[in-house]
Structure 1
Amino acid sequence: MLKIIQTPVRFYPFIGGVEKYVYYISKELAKYDDCEVKVICANEPDTIDHEIYNGINIRRLKYYGKVANTNVTLSLPKVLYNEDFDIIHTHVPTPWSSDWSNIISRIKNKPLVVTYHNDIIGTGVANYIAKFYNSTTLILLLNKADKIIITQDDYINSPHLQNYKEKVTTIPNGVDTNIFKPIDSPRKNNQIFFLSVLDKFHKYKGLDYLLESLVEVKKIIPDVKLVVGGKGELLNFYKSKTEELGLKDNVEFKGFLTDEEVIKCYQESELFVLPSISSLQEGFGIVVLEALACETPVISTTIVGVSDDVIDTESGIIIDPKNVEMLEKAIIKILSDKELIKNMGKKGRELVKEKYEWKKISEDIHELYEELL
């Protein structure tokens, strides 16, 4: 029996790209007869400390505040040390959980797999902390890693991976097309969907630019409607900005959405937009795959992991980051052509089914584990 421990900083029901990645690969790996999967993470949002969900053994630990968006779980070292495991799979950018995974795997002489989702950066004081971490502890982590997974080929260009190219392999993110799928009912006319945590750390998702673009879009499409899913400390900031831009009637903030509500928003909307602005922080953009699987056209930026495939399959429009004018034109082009919406949607789902099913992704990861052992 292959005993796997995953150590994301947070896990389901927390919503985020890394959390979704760990959830879906763990769920698929748990279906294998030879795999036991355990996730050890911080208890955020506060829920059951210990449960088995979709075959995944989940242990959530009390945390004592956060440093650089990373929950500090003081019991993690002891808990990890007392676990019986064959392999630890940890994730960057999450110091603490990844660093203790490194230390415990060294002590117990077990293989360590690191998925490098994106670089660790910060602003202000956090930037100095990030630089110090990257020049010290991150090096120790990557030195020990037996394999480093990146989710898009471009990430090999990260300055922090230059000395480890022989260990790096690309395995993309995925989506479950049995869950994320279109429905027969008509979509809501001129509705756009955006989904992200609304906090300072996730400002790189580009909601500011999307709101600014709607000012011009509204002149051409007066009833354009943006549905924003997600909550966080910047929710009131974005609501105020919406009012300042004269968009109060055109933007609806839904707050936290359940899995079912997220899927419904993808299915009902004519367009999904993820205008990410930072290649250092945007690891892949799983939400783009989810939208495509629901036959919803997408607009995103060149830094998102699936951008080349979106261009090749004509399943959406890819623009430059921070380019509000390009974003305006792309939104108007898609929403003004209902036939284009249908065609882009069908091409998007075909792309996902062909290349980005979680089942295929988990097979690649399972094979990687077996090679290491």
Structure 2
Amino acid sequence: MKNISIFTGEISESSGGIQNMAYNIYNKLKEDYNIKCFSEIENKNLKDDCIFYASSKENFISRKYTLLKKSLRFRNDLNISLTPSTAVIPYLLKKKNRTPYIVFIHGNQVYSDKKNLKYFVKRILLKNASLIISNSSYTKEKCKQNYGDNLNISIINPPINYKEIQYDTEINKNKKILFTVSRLEQRKGIHKVIESLPKILKKYPNLKYKIAGKGNYKNTLVRLTKELNLENAVEFLGFITEEEKDYYLKEMDLFVMPSYEVEDENSVEGFGIVYLEANMYGKFVIGGNSGGVTDAIIPGKTGFLVDGKNPNAIADRVIYFFDSYNNKYQYEKNCIKWAKEHDISIYIRKLNNYINDIL
């Protein structure tokens, strides 16, 4: 059985993002390989003999040094770094032992100031990787533009843990509901949804927009809601648990997150797993025609792509959905099928094919 080490900034069973992806990949690859995982941030709730942590008291450099020393105790056939920033150790191990390594790259990670030392370091780390796995077509193209057209990049869209959704009881409601769950930041386009509501409410006055999540943009969103006198139409739910998220995804009619690129902040949606999670519930979605979102949505079948900066475009699509997609069976089957195609088991199968090519 081949030996593989995974390097990540963080690993978590419950949190979203890369840390949860690290946990899923670690657990799935254990079925076929001898796996070790090295995490720069300690998770005291996750104890495993094959997971090694740096100390939370260490700084950036000392964490990497600690993990390097721990990783040198093992001889691997392949190393996997789940971000470019954690590829330093795999790069050093390649120089020492000629061990090949794979690097994963996600949306915002393709940006770097070319005058910054980090850019040159990242370029070296990517150039020496046997394979770079990109989360979307957009990320792949941006990576080639910024770091070199000769990089070996393949695309595997991020996975979800697909499950059959059980509707135990019918949710009683007399309002149409829009729903967003995400970190509250500018690029998510939530403020543009709020700006679109006056036009939508003229056609559907009982509509409600529920927003879940926390972030530094919340005060701006609350202030905008008050300025537009939309307090009765917009509800801020704050942080929600997985159980609450399950309820709201069942309750909603339409998921909306019209993300767009905030160029002066180099902030863009690299893919958008949350669209697939909504599809898993048989629900249609509206996303921004920007970044990697175009890989996550099949226009007209699982959702709509809109200009996330244009409130009128958002309003028109919401109204069109309620006018034309009033029979959920028109789209429910397509949404569920699309979500199922992104299950973690399929993701691991694709990853295994690339691993076998290298080994």
| TM-score, normalised with respect to structure 1 | 0.81
| Cα shift at 1:14 | 7.0
What pairs up with 1:9-158 in 2 under 5 angstroms? 9-12=9-12, 15-30=15-30, 32-43=31-42, 48=44, 50-52=46-48, 57=51, 59=53, 61-62=55-56, 72=60, 74-83=62-71, 84=74, 85-92=76-83, 95=85, 97-120=86-109, 128=113, 132-133=116-117, 135-158=119-142
1:288 lines up with 2:284 in the alignment = no
RMSD of aligned alpha carbons: 3.1
Q: Distance in 2 between matches of 1:252 and 1:101?
A: 46
Aligned partner of residue 339 in structure 1, secondary structure: coil
Conserved? CA contact 1:50–1:59, under 8 Å: no
Q: Return closer, same or farther for 1:328/1:160 CA change in 2, 3 Å cut-off.
A: same
Counterpart amino acid of 1:339? N
Q: Distance in 2 between matches of 1:321 and 1:162?
A: 30
Counterpart amino acid of 1:115? F
Q: Return closer, same or farther for 1:194/1:312 CA change in 2, 3 Å cut-off.
A: closer
Q: Which residue of 2 aligns with 1:69?
A: none
Aligned partner of residue 47 in structure 2, secondary structure: strand
Q: Return closer, same or farther for 1:344/1:3 CA change in 2, 3 Å cut-off.
A: same
1:190 lines up with 2:186 in the alignment = no
Q: Residues 77-100 of structure 1, C-alpha deviation per residue, up to 9 Å, x if partnerless? A: 2223312244332234x63x3334
Counterpart amino acid of 1:62? S
Q: Residues 314-354 of structure 1, C-alpha deviation per residue, up to 9 Å, x if partnerless? A: 1211112312111111112223456344422221111222x
Aligned partner of residue 269 in structure 2, secondary structure: coil
Q: Which residue of 2 aligns with 1:347?
A: 334
Q: Return closer, same or farther for 1:149/1:60 CA change in 2, 3 Å cut-off.
A: same
Q: Which residue of 2 aligns with 1:323?
A: 310
Counterpart amino acid of 2:150? Y
1:6 lines up with 2:18 in the alignment = no
Aligned partner of residue 336 in structure 2, secondary structure: helix
Conserved? CA contact 2:271–2:295, under 8 Å: no
Counterpart amino acid of 1:48? K
User: Which residue of 187, 191, 201 corresponds with 1:218?
Assistant: 201
Conserved? CA contact 1:2–1:35, under 8 Å: yes
Q: Return closer, same or farther for 1:356/1:263 CA change in 2, 3 Å cut-off.
A: same
Q: Return closer, same or farther for 1:208/1:246 CA change in 2, 3 Å cut-off.
A: same
Counterpart amino acid of 2:41? A
Q: Residues 153-179 of structure 1, C-alpha deviation per residue, up to 9 Å, x if partnerless? A: 3333211254334x1111122222226
What pairs up with 1:166-315 in 2 under 5 angstroms? 167-178=152-163, 181=165, 183=167, 185-186=169-170, 188=173, 189-198=175-184, 202-278=185-261, 281-303=268-290, 305=292, 307=294, 310-311=297-298, 314-315=301-302
Counterpart amino acid of 1:99? V
Q: Which residue of 2 aligns with 1:333?
A: 320
- Identical residues among aligned pairs (%): 22
Q: Which residue of 1 aligns with 2:351?
A: 365
| Cα shift at 1:42 | 2.1
Q: Return closer, same or farther for 1:329/1:340 CA change in 2, 3 Å cut-off.
A: farther
Counterpart amino acid of 1:103? L
Q: Which runs of 5+ in 1 are unaligned?
A: 66-71
Q: Distance in 2 between matches of 1:60 and 1:237?
A: 37
Q: Distance in 1 between matches of 2:348 and 2:80?
A: 13
| Cα shift at 1:135 | 3.8
Q: Distance in 1 between matches of 2:14 and 2:352?
A: 25
Counterpart amino acid of 2:160? V
Q: Distance in 1 between matches of 2:159 and 2:252?
A: 21
Counterpart amino acid of 1:332? I
| Cα shift at 1:193 | 1.7
Q: Which residue of 2 aligns with 1:68?
A: none
Conserved? CA contact 2:200–2:315, under 8 Å: yes
| Cα shift at 1:372 | 1.8
